[in-house]
Amino acid sequence: MKKMEEPLDDRLGKENHQKLLEIDNPELHQFIDRYVKLCNPARVFVCTDSPEDIRYIRESAIKNKEEEKLAIEGHTVHFDGYYDQARDKNHTKFLVPEGVNLGLNLNTIDKKEGLAELDDIMKNIMQGHELYVRFFCLGPTNSEFSIPCVQLTDSSYVAHSEDLLYRKGYEEFKRQGRNAKFFKFVHSEGELNQNMTSNNIDKRRIYIDTEDEIVYSMNTQYGGNTIGLKKLAMRLGISRASKENWLTEHMFVMGVHGPNSRITYFTGAFPSMCGKTSTSMIEGESIVGDDIAYFRKRDGKAYAVNVEEGMFGIIMGVNVKDDPIIWEVLNSPNEIIFSNVLIPENKSVYWIGKDGKAISKGKNHSGNWALGNKDAQGNEISPSHRNARFTLNLKLLENVDPLLNDPNGVEIGGIIYGGRDSDTWVPVEESFDWVHGIITKGASIESETTAATLGKEGIRKFNLMSNLDFLSIPLGTYVENNLNFGADFKKAPLVFSANYFLKDEDGNFMNEKTDKAVWLKWMELRAHNEVGAIKTPTGFIPIYEALEKLFKEVLNKDYSGDDYIKQFTTRIPAHLAKIDRITEIYKTKVLNTPQVLFKVLEEQKDRLLKAKERYGDYIAPYKFEVILLNRK
């Protein structure tokens, strides 16, 4: 084993040095050695996940003024810089060796050039700071899903946040020793200004090296750029999964409770503002995770785990009616980090959309704030940022599933793909099979923008599997990996689409927010072949009588035949237009598109044209064939 060189000993001290030597992994030691020398922190703290070490991290966040205590016990607040409030897409790049092409959709830089730039930025970047060495595990520990991770950061806020979001990994590193294939993360907030926020954001860089499985993040504090194990690690996971025939997906994992105390586990991919978290947190069901899942095959079945153990959630709009479980947790004594919210003089927390009286002054991401304040560009500053967050451990939620940390994962009965779609997809539909579902549901997701988020409403944005922003391999390769994953299932998960945003001709939503509880129950019954369906050109939809019964049982609500016909009418023109759009994207903008995608889309188009010839442009569900319980 390579011993640490002497210059490190002064900064680690004997105790921290010994903590590292407890892990028999020379590659790990060399990695830490390199970046301590390059970044040049004043001192180094190695966290073993002992209660004393965890407490040191938490106390450091307060001492360093990266967090501030609030009125409720356990609550703290962190502020990012005013211009450091979101993922920096322009400066998030893949380090790509010469000759490698990831396609038009991925932002890349030559690896040698990028590493030279990073070395220049990182030289002495931690001078005067303390470096925290943290060990975590993506996925449950002691499991085939386990991926050990080491995080180097000079931000006590980042080190504390990851403590709430991820499973402890020091013992996993000790267990795996020299066999550990670990992800590596190097982060520095860089020079800080008087507000204790990153000063040199012009040198903000987030570079991802999937070849050596390292993420570099510099001169930024916002969690999406700095909490390496989240979406940054997801890029590493997608790359590794592609090589090893498993999947890393941008999906929740939840348990839907069926008859006789049965629980069936579903995963779901929904773009932002399309109901992903609200679905995973629906009343009466249980949550395994709300964001990222690993999938593996075992005995011809699909199993998944939540990569994380916590929630880094958008807080805007959280209220007691729509989010009762999260609301209760956010207003109780628990260990929670709030970021970029408004803190009035009494040290409570206020955010946009919070129940109760609006607050007119306090401290927020811009400094001392009062209603009507404007920034240097003349834009009015909101009380909390629209991207303000809360960070907590899932164990605080009363609906957390007991299998959250099961090393075997949970068997998946169904996969749901959703989007904001005003005129095409019905509220819930099952695909014909795995390939049909991956292509016409997952690989064909489009989601309409909202005025609130992007300034122009109703623009369709392509977002395959709700994962477009986080891919690290060519898009066509990613689709093919999903298709191949289902090639030899004995029992493949069913694949569904969901759409909570269908509108009538007057622009009114056809569904209530709460209706998603019924669609979930129907999917659960389909997963066990306990309810029939109607076969349309695009998939299987519910029979009216089944939904009528479920609406009464689940929501104690009458469900009219008129509503059913409006919601589940097949809209031929919209479907045909969608197929043309999706086909054009894969022909012109996607590298390595599998040919089966075009075949399946063409077959769907042919079915739609035949139905149009027989029934017209808009086809009520009762026109189609009822399929009873005949799936094998």
Return the pLDDT at 104: 77
Q: According to DSSP H, which parts of 391-515 are helical? A: 434-440, 451-454, 475-485
Residue 297 sits in the same domain as residue 234: no
Return the pLDDT at 530: 96
Q: Is the four-CA dihedral 303, 308, 310, 316 of positive or negative sign?
A: negative
Tell me the C-alpha distance between 326 and 527, whole Å: 29
Give the H or E element holding residue 265: strand 263-269
Domain limit, last residue, from 370, 396, 422: 396
pLDDT greater than 90 at residue 11: no
What's the pLDDT band for 457 if we cut at 50, 70, 90? low
Residue 390 sits in the same domain as residue 511: no
Residue 459 sits in the same domain as residue 330: no
**Ordered strands of the 68-69 beta sheet:** 68-69, 75-78, 336-339, 389-393, 310-314
Find, among 223, 227, 271, the residue nearest to 251 by Cα: 271
Return the pLDDT at 632: 45
Give pLDDT tens digits for 326-349: 999 999 999 999 999 999 999 999
What integer best gives the mean pLDDT of the chain? 94
* Portion of the chain with pLDDT greater than 90, in percent: 88
Tell me the C-alpha distance between 435 and 433, whole Å: 6
**Total tally of structural domains belonging to the chain:** 3
Find, among 424, 553, 264, the residue nearest to 545 by Cα: 553
Task: State the number of CA atoms in the 13 A half-sphere of 349 facing the CB.
Answer: 32
Mean pLDDT of 466-472: 94
536 vs 592, residue with greater confidence: 536
Domain limit, last residue, from 339, 371, 396: 396
Give me 570's structure tokens: 């097949």
CA 513 to chain centre: 22
Give pLDDT tens digits for 46-76: 999 999 999 999 999 999 999 999 999 999 9
Residue 77 lies in a domain: no
What's the pLDDT band for 542 if we cut at 50, 70, 90? very high
Own/partner contacts of 98-107, CB < 8 Å, gap of 24 or more, are 101/474, 101/591, 102/472, 102/473, 102/474, 102/591, 103/474, 103/475, 103/476, 103/590, 103/591, 103/592, 104/589, 104/591, 105/468, 105/471, 105/475, 105/589, 105/590, 106/471, 106/472, 106/474
Output the domain CATH number for residue 474: 3.90.228.20
pLDDT greater than 60 at residue 4: no
- State the residue range of the domain holding 343: 312-396
Give me 449's structure tokens: 């923008």
What's the pLDDT band for 10 if we cut at 50, 70, 90? confident
Q: How many Cβ atoms from other residues are within 10 Å of residue 63's Cβ?
A: 11
Catalytically active residues are 274
Give me 149's structure tokens: 């991770």
Return the pLDDT at 156: 97
Return the pLDDT at 99: 85
Residue 74 lies in a domain: no
User: Residue 461: CB partners within 8 Å, gap ≥ 6?
Assistant: 271, 446, 447, 448, 449
374 vs 625, residue with greater confidence: 374
Mean pLDDT of 283-295: 96
pLDDT greater than 70 at residue 451: no
Tell me the C-alpha distance between 126 and 122, whole Å: 8
Tell me the C-alpha distance between 567 and 563, whole Å: 6
Give pLDDT tens digits for 392-408: 999 999 999 999 999 99
Residue 320 sits in the same domain as residue 332: yes
Residue 281 lies in a domain: yes
Residue 176 lies in a domain: yes
Mean pLDDT of 167-181: 96
pLDDT greater than 90 at residue 626: no
Residue 166 sits in the same domain as residue 28: yes
Residue 83 lies in a domain: no
Q: State the amino acid at position 437 in one-letter form.
A: G
Residue 596 sits in the same domain as residue 500: yes
Q: Is the four-CA dihedral 354, 157, 196, 192 of positive or negative sign?
A: negative
pTM over 0.85: yes
What's the pLDDT band for 366 if we cut at 50, 70, 90? very high
Residue 297 sits in the same domain as residue 325: no
Return the pLDDT at 101: 87
β-partners of residue 266 are 254, 414
Return the pLDDT at 7: 41
Dihedrals φ, ψ of 501, to 5°?
Answer: -125, 20
β-partners of residue 310 are 393
Give the H or E element holding residue 306: strand 301-306
Find, among 285, 361, 28, 377, the residue nearest to 176 by Cα: 28
List, as one string, the DSSP characters of 36-59.
HHHH--SEEEE--S-HHHHHHHHH
Return the pLDDT at 2: 45
Quick one: CA torsion of 481, 150, 73, 66, rounded to 10 degrees?
-110
pLDDT greater than 80 at residue 211: yes
